[in-house]
């Protein structure tokens, strides 16, 4: 179980970024006009950027010994 609030926030950020990516992919497939394509392209790009930053921060916390490596998913 994650004990530090900052680690819980990072885990939630990772989940949100993954949701953004999934929504963008689904939205892009179902788009009906170019404006939607732009919207979902931005959402996809942002999701990947946020995910990358959050994963790097998670790795930094793992190196500090803060992150419990046994945790896969936790309800926050």
Structure tokens at 43: 């959402």
Non-local (6+) Cβ contacts of 63 within 8 A are: none
Q: Which two tokens stand for residue 35?
A: 């404006």
Consecutive 10-residue averages of pLDDT for the chain (76 residues): 86 98 96 95 98 97 82 46
**pLDDT value, residue 76:** 41
**What pLDDT, on the 0 to 100 scale, is given for residue 63?**
93
pLDDT value of residue 47:
98
> Which residues, in sequence order, are CB contacts of 66 under 8 Å at separation 6+?
4, 6, 7
CA contacts within 13 A on the Cβ side of 57: 15
What is the CB neighbour count within 10 angstroms for residue 25? 14
In the chain, domain spans: 7-64
């Amino acid at each position: 179980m994650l004990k530090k609030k900052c680690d819980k926030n990072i885990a939630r950020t990772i989940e949100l970024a993954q949701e953004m990516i999934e929504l963008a992919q689904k939205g892009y497939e179902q788009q009906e006009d170019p404006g939607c394509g732009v919207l979902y392209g931005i959402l996809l790009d942002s999701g990947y950027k946020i995910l990358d930053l959050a994963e790097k921060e998670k790795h930094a916390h793992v190196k500090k010994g803060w992150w419990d490596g046994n945790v896969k998913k936790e309800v926050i």
